[in-house]
Amino acid sequence: MAHHGTRYTEGPIFKHISTLSITSAIGLFAIFAVDLVDVFFIALLGEPELAAAVGFAGTALFFGAAICIGLAIAVATVVAQAVGEESIEDDSSDTTLTAPNSVRLASHGLLTIVMITVPLAILSLIYAPWLISLMGAEGATLDLAVHYFRIVGAALPVLGLAMAGTSLLRAVGEAKLSMWATIIAGLVNAVLDPLLIFGLSLDLTGAAIASVISRCTAAGMAIYFIAGRHQLLQLPDWTRYFSDLKQLSGIAIPSLITNLAGPFGAAYATTQMARFGTDAVAAAAVIGRITPVAFAGLYGLSGAVGPVASQNMGAKQWHRVRQTLLASGLFVSLYVVPVAIGMFFLKDILVNVFDLQGEAAELLRFYCTFIVISYWLFGLQLAANPMFTALRHPGFATVSNIARDLCLGIPLVYLGSSLFGAPGVLGGQAIGNMIAGIIAFSVALWLTSRVERGLSINLPFDALKNSLTFHRAVVPGVQHRGD
């Protein structure tokens, strides 16, 4: 029977939030740091085309990653809900009657991920040149980007299993095992990078192969823990598969829509950057890798709010649900301010480390001076979105991301780039993030205050929605790669 994790219904909320955020962040930091190391070693080769190629390929790979995240959230959510129900039954008697529920859902979830990602990977490999040229890549940069994308993109099903595996570990209360799977995968990549890029002179191919081996490591370790320690895997039960699939898709579809807004926004920003030449795209590639490393704590927070808020929702401790949101707002402030100050003082060092010249160097300095502080407000949105899911309104998170990346992001990036050139692309994205952060957090505050006062937060269309989806006791937070 699955072993149950920590209870978040008692004890200091800020401690739960910060512990969960930091364990999540360490694992995420390992993944993001490896991406940064990739770009660092490629920068050492001294050709901006190579860094730009990784920038283009990375944006294209982001679509695949977003799909894997959406599927991983769905699998981890239904499994955690089943585990939550089993733990309630465990309190009354030591029965294992419902244990197979979580096992069956986990197995069917992983099987579904493979069935979706294999055809997706094949299609994306075939259409890679067309996809990447849409973003403005051309000539040698396009060829290099397609080459890198085809090697790493072929491992999409492995990435899906790695993300779902680590999310399932968190769903059953094993945040540390989940963290170790990602850290060891990161170390494997960091060791292989210099060996393959320089030792075997494989350049970009070496960086791509190292990424694939790293994904295999994370997937292998996560599945080993799920199967070995938690016995969460069994052969598919085809009589129940389609009803489970309906339950999974009730969460997966809104989750996929939520996660796909980011890559569309990022692809548009990359297209605008490409107008300002290879240097601008190379700088954007470096910024795109520095950001998640610097702000891993915020992405970790978005995986921490869910479990704490959901368990307290399930336990009907309404005041603690609101406290969770306030504690996450405090965490954002305590985290972002020192990071932003540090980035400001490190800007010249970063320019030298990544060997950026001319306009690329100026762009990175602009980012470290003006853009990093915008993450204070963006972080509030990362706290609000999982709260919407915990309050059983995942549609709010979908609307919030679409508003940020498409309704605000695209027009603001267009306006910024037309008026101010390449820095305007970064500025436009930042302003969109800030507006979305203020609105999302305000709505979450309003909803949690209604919950605390015992007022209904049901919306007029809830009756319809409830007939389409399944609501159960516990909704876990699932980490995601940010944009």
* Rounded CA separation 316/313 (Å): 5
Contact 395/251 with Cβ under 8 angstroms?
Answer: no
What are the pLDDT digits (tens) for 376-402? 999 999 999 888 877 878 788 889 989
- 3-12, 39-48, 114-123, 175-184: lowest mean pLDDT where? 3-12
C-beta atoms surrounding 95 within 10 Å: 11
Residue ranges covered by each domain of the chain: 13-468
Per-residue confidence band for 342, with pLDDT thresholds at 50, 70 and 90: very high
C-beta atoms surrounding 119 within 10 Å: 10
Q: Which residue, among 478, 479, 483, has the nearest Cα to 81 in the 3D structure?
A: 478
Contact 376/332 with Cβ under 8 angstroms?
Answer: yes
* Rounded CA separation 43/37 (Å): 10
C-beta atoms surrounding 258 within 10 Å: 27
What are the pLDDT digits (tens) for 196-217? 988 888 888 998 999 899 999 9
User: How is residue 385 written in tokens?
Assistant: 């979105």
Burial of 241 (0-12, 13-18, 19+ CB in 10 A): middle
Q: What percent of the chain has pLDDT over 90?
A: 32
Q: What is the pTM of this model?
A: 0.75
Asked if the model's pLDDT at residue 310 lies above 70, the reply is: yes
Contact 159/63 with Cβ under 8 angstroms?
Answer: no
* Rounded CA separation 248/226 (Å): 19
Asked if the model's pLDDT at residue 80 lies above 80, the reply is: no
Exposure string for 350-360, b = 16+ CB within 10 A, e = fewer = bbeebbbeebb
Q: What is the mean pLDDT of residues 68-90?
A: 73
User: How is residue 411 written in tokens?
Assistant: 């027009």
Q: What are phi and psi of 354, to 5 degrees?
A: -95, 10
What are the pLDDT digits (tens) for 227-247? 888 777 888 888 888 888 888
Give the single-character DSSP code of 461.
Answer: T
- Sequence-distant (≥ 6) Cβ neighbours of residue 90 within 8 angstroms: 4
Per-residue confidence band for 161, with pLDDT thresholds at 50, 70 and 90: very high
User: How is residue 444 written in tokens?
Assistant: 């979450």
Asked if the model's pLDDT at residue 5 lies above 90, the reply is: no
* Rounded CA separation 329/344 (Å): 23
Q: Which residue, among 118, 143, 121, 117, has the nearest Cα to 132 in the 3D structure?
A: 143
Query: What rounded mean pLDDT belongs to the chain?
Result: 82
